[in-house]
Amino acid sequence: MSPTPPTTPRLLPPRDSAALAANAVPEFRSEPLLAEWGPLPPGEPHGERVPTFHIDHQIIRLRFDWVRHAVVGSTTLRVMARDTALHDISLDAVDMIIHGVRRGVAGAPLRYTYNDSTLVVHLPSPLRPRAMTTVTVRYETVRPKKGVYFVDRRHDLWTQGEAAETRHWIPTYDYPNDKTTWEFYIRVPKNEKALSNGRLVGTRPVGRGEVEWHWSLGEPASTYLMSVATGDYTILRDSADGVPVDYWVYPDSVAAGWRGFGLTPRAVDLFAQKTRVPYPWEKYDQIVAPDFEYGGQENVTATTQSDDEVLHPAWAEPQARTDLLVSHELAHHWYGDYLTTRDWANVWLNEGFATFMEQYYTEAARGVSEAALERLGAQEQTIAADRRARRPIVYDRYQNDPIELFFSGHIYPKGALVLHMLRHDLGDSLFWAGMHRYTVDHARGTVVTADFERAMEATSGRDYSTFFRQWVYGAGFPVFQVSAQYDTAGRSVTLTARQVQPRDSLTGFFDANVDVEILTDSGPVSGVMPVHGEVSTLTLPLRAPPRSIRWDKGRWVLELYDFPRSTAMLAYQLAHDDDVLGRVEAAAGLAERAPDNTALGALTAAAVHDSQWAVRTRAVSALARWTGDSAADSTVRSTLLTATRDRDSRVRQRAALTLAHFPGEATEERLRQLVADSSRFVSGAALISFAAMDSTAALPLVQEAMTHASWRDIERKQAQAALAIIRRQTP
């Protein structure tokens, strides 16, 4: 499953930025970086559910009544007793009308009881351990609260199973720790199509202008992955290494469909190659769904994707990108569908892994800098999550629905970061060997965290119990105060790191190996500080004085830190660090040094010349701090105007927004031009800044933009934002 991306709050308290000489080192921030952890998320513990039987195979026959928004059908379950005799079969089935239960497909009626959430089928005689029986339930459900979603405006329908929605449309065992094969027979109008899991066995006309689609999943999966989607679709045919890979899109969205889905075969190849486990299913379909409640859902072999997330116009790139979503849901076909969390407390084994794989796809397809930026984003989300409500990754307390466990920030971003830390610690070759072992050892099975830990330890021969105790079963992260002393006579630098996070039963001191890099005029010097306990130090010999000092180069450790350095060092780092995250850090640090001239010089150079859009946008934003500084004014204006011509629309967008702080004839003229930029993100930003500057001149442009229909309605939304500014200014 994939949530919609969150926004990132500010992470650090401001530094007191009284005028500092370029080489002066400021004090630590006076406010604590993290004063207290957020409270544990509320709820009761929910241990793993104990299954009393196993579903060996399930057949579901459905039609959908669009007038009543009803699901009408029957399901046949071949059930096996486990280690003890089975007297009755308890099926999850919410708010259904049960028309009858029979033995076999059409055999003798069976006695049952039903209380609107559980259907208990009483077997006429106990089923011996390991013996099987078959029962058929005829049922319907009208306007289900969950599970099936009728989208009338398109006559499209999609279903959702995870976490506990399958029970709203199919009577079954609805918990991840049992796997079964299944078949769907779905009736739809003959001008529509129906997608489900597994292989399309065939279609046949069934009268009343309807066609029945028969799908069969030949390898077992958990029932939360059952899915159906119906509607008027065009199928785009692709393939990856012999596996059919198809995209189900609206008939008028073929080009956008290829744009959004076309990377899928490359991702299939990458994941198969890195895990050394070929794509484990017979085919892969993805379908776009209207009004989908998540970004995507990895319904086995038949992923449902939000149409808005996938189908975008060309101008919307690179702000709009589908590689994260497409690779995430695909990765679940190894981690989630093939290996499945045994209970919801361990759901990071699905979601943290898929998020890690999505970031790994970025690294392979877009390079290490883009991947590093995603890691940084994941750190920011995790830190915000622990400020809100700190919890361990493995956690089983929720109030009403297991879905509450998913989106706190500890499952997706933190789960992925833990895997990155392991990977950095082990090195790529051992890490992927461990992933391979874990994947083949538990193929088509269910897993808990200990299974993964064992595979990593067996592969590496190392003890990772402390690592898992601190990062997975414990909570929080280290907060460091870092300082550096240069010994001129001894020609060495000593780094000291003090852990200052609040400590309690869930969070103690952390162990970590932190990469340190010092740039000097005789080249870079790097080292690794083994962090352990409250205070750790590392001394590195240098041949020349330090020009800049990096703590945790690459940001591999999940952490917060305060490392005061001089303006001159940060300026040097912004210009020379080969790690994009070092330059991002330097740009943020220099923004706090306004109105310092050294800082301004470094930021204006980076705003125009840095090779990475993310550094250029941050440097552009930082220039707003020089508002009202008459000595800097013309430099800042000309830098921002240059940035509005950047090749990357994300930089142009930021420059257009930042220009609002610098009104004047030249900026107004430029903003007016930018309203016609090919990227609607840029034109909208320009309109908003223009409205702030000259509401009278902007009004007709805003009114014009209000009439434009656009992807996700972004033009109208931006125009509304501009109009709100104009209204505030008009008395």
Kindly state the number of chain residues that form the binding site for Zn ion, as judged by CB under 5 A. 4
Does 1 help bind Zn ion (rule: CB under 5 A)? yes
Of 408 and 718, which CB lies nearer to Zn ion in the complex structure? 408
* Best CA proximity match to 229, nearest among 141, 313, 291, 322: 291
What does the DSSP 8-state code read for residue 49? -
> Are β-strands 492-499 and 535-541 bridged in parallel, bridged antiparallel, or unpaired?
antiparallel
Please say which residue, 407 or 711, places its beta carbon nearer to Zn ion.
407
In the complex, the smallest distance separating the C-beta of residue 334 from Zn ion, rounded to whole angstroms, is 12
Q: Which stretch binds Zn ion (CB under 5 A): 352-360, 561-569, 581-589, 703-711?
A: 352-360
Q: How far apart (Å, rounded) are the C-alpha atoms in residues 120 and 91?
A: 6
Distances 726 to 383, 629, 682, 702 between C-alpha atoms, Å: 36, 26, 19, 10
Binding segment for Zn ion among 70-78, 345-353, 441-449, 470-478 (CB under 5 A)? 345-353
Between 351 and 380, name the residue whose CB sits nearer to Zn ion.
351
Window of 100-108, 344-352, 449-457, 677-685 that interacts with Zn ion by CB under 5 A: 344-352
The dihedral through the CA atoms of 212, 214, 215, 219 has a sign that is: positive
Asked whether 326 and 263 are in contact (CB, 8 A), the reply is yes
Instruction: Give the nearer residue to Zn ion in terms of CB position, either 351 or 559.
Output: 351
Residue closest to 653 by CA, chosen among 310, 362, 317 = 317
**Distance from C-alpha of 593 to C-alpha of 18, rounded to nearest angstrom:** 8
CB under 8 Å, gap of 24 or more: what pairs does 146-153 form?
146/94, 148/64, 148/71, 149/291, 149/293, 150/64, 150/66, 150/69, 151/289, 151/290, 151/291, 152/66, 153/290
Closest C-alpha among 147, 198, 184, 150 to residue 58: 184
Burial 457-482 (b: 16+ CB within 10 A, else e): bebbeeebeebbebbbebbbbbbbbb
**β-bridge mates for residue 537, sequence order:** 496
Closest CB to Zn ion among residues 1, 602:
1
Give the shortest CB-492-to-Zn ion separation in angstroms. 47
Residue span 304-343 as binding mask against Zn ion, x where in contact by CB under 5 A, dash where not: ----------------------------------------
Please give the residues from 638 up to 697 whose contact with Zn ion meets the rule CB under 5 A.
none
Residue 1 or residue 705: which is nearer to Zn ion going by CB?
A: 1
Q: Which of residues 141-200 bind Zn ion (CB under 5 A)?
A: none
Sign of the alpha-carbon dihedral angle for 391, 395, 400, 404: positive
Question: What is the C-alpha to C-alpha distance for residues 442 and 435, in angstroms, rounded to an integer?
Answer: 11
Minimum Å gap between C-beta 545 and Zn ion is 48
State the minimum distance, in angstroms, from the CB of residue 405 to Zn ion.
13
Report, in Å, the least distance between residue 253 CB and Zn ion: 24
Tell me which residue of 138, 136, 141 sits closest to 169, measured CA to CA. 141
Least distance to Zn ion, CB of residue 332, Å: 6
- For Zn ion, the nearest residue by Cβ is 1
Question: Nearest distance from residue 391's CB to Zn ion, in Å?
Answer: 19
* Distant-in-sequence, close-in-space partners of 54: CB < 8 Å, separation ≥ 6: 79, 80, 82, 178, 180
Cβ proximity to Zn ion, 2 vs 658, nearer residue: 2
Chain centroid offset of residue 337 CA: 17
Nearest distance, CB of residue 693 and Zn ion, angstroms:
43
Q: How far is the CB of 411 from Zn ion (least distance, A)?
A: 9
CB closer to Zn ion, 351 vs 453: 351
Report the C-alpha gap between 407 and 382 in whole angstroms: 11
Site for Zn ion in 62-91 (CB under 5 A): none
Task: Give the tokens for residue 38.
Answer: 């957020």
Pick the binder of Zn ion from 79, 121, 354, 619 (CB under 5 A).
354
Residue 328 CB, shortest distance to Zn ion, in Å, is 5
Question: Cβ of 30: how many Cβ atoms within 10 Å?
Answer: 9
Of 330 and 558, which CB lies nearer to Zn ion in the complex structure? 330
- 143 CB neighbour count, 10 Å cutoff: 11
User: Which is closer to Zn ion, CB of 264 or CB of 695?
Assistant: 264
Stretch that binds Zn ion, among 67-75, 282-290, 351-359, 528-536 (CB under 5 A): 351-359
Q: Which is nearer to Zn ion, 1 or 226 (CB)?
A: 1
Taking the complex as a whole, the smallest distance from the CB of residue 409 to Zn ion amounts, in Å, to: 14
**670: how many CB neighbours lie within 10 A of its CB?**
21
The piece of 94-102, 212-220, 348-356, 515-523 that touches Zn ion (CB under 5 A) is: 348-356
In the complex, the smallest distance separating the C-beta of residue 105 from Zn ion, rounded to whole angstroms, is: 36
Q: Which of 3, 601 has the CB closer to Zn ion?
A: 3
Whole-number Å distance between alpha carbons of 213 and 189: 11
Min dist CB 382 to Zn ion, Å, is 16
Whose Cβ is closer to Zn ion: residue 2's or residue 621's?
Answer: 2
Rounded CA-CA distance 340/342 in Å is 6
In the bound state with Zn ion, the residue whose beta carbon lies nearer, of 1 and 70, is 1
Apex CA 20: angle with CA 19 and CA 25, to 5°? 145
Give the position of tokens 């028309």: 99
Stretch that binds Zn ion, among 45-53, 101-109, 350-358, 462-470 (CB under 5 A): 350-358
Reduced to 3 states (helix: H, G, I; strand: E, B; else coil), residue 405 is helix
Collapse the DSSP code of 528 into the 3-class scheme (helix H, G, I; strand E, B; otherwise coil) and give the result.
Answer: strand
Q: Which is nearer to Zn ion, 435 or 659 (CB)?
A: 435
**Distance in Å, CB of 267 to Zn ion, minimum:** 14
Exposed e or buried b per residue across 316-339, where buried means at least 16 C-beta atoms within 10 angstroms of its C-beta: beeebbbbbbbbbbbbbbbbbbbb
55 contacts Zn ion (rule: CB under 5 A): no
Least distance to Zn ion from the beta carbon of 431, Å? 21
Give the binding range for Zn ion (CB under 5 A) out of 316-324, 346-354, 377-385, 480-488: 346-354
- CB-side neighbour CA atoms (13 Å) of 261: 30
Task: Return the number of the residue (184 or 412) whose C-beta is nearest Zn ion.
Answer: 412
Minimum CB distance to Zn ion, residue 134 (Å): 34
Q: Does 357 bind Zn ion (CB under 5 A)?
A: no
Q: Please identify which residue in the block is written with the tokens 């992807």.
A: 711
**Contacting residues toward Zn ion, per CB under 5 A:** 1-2, 351, 354
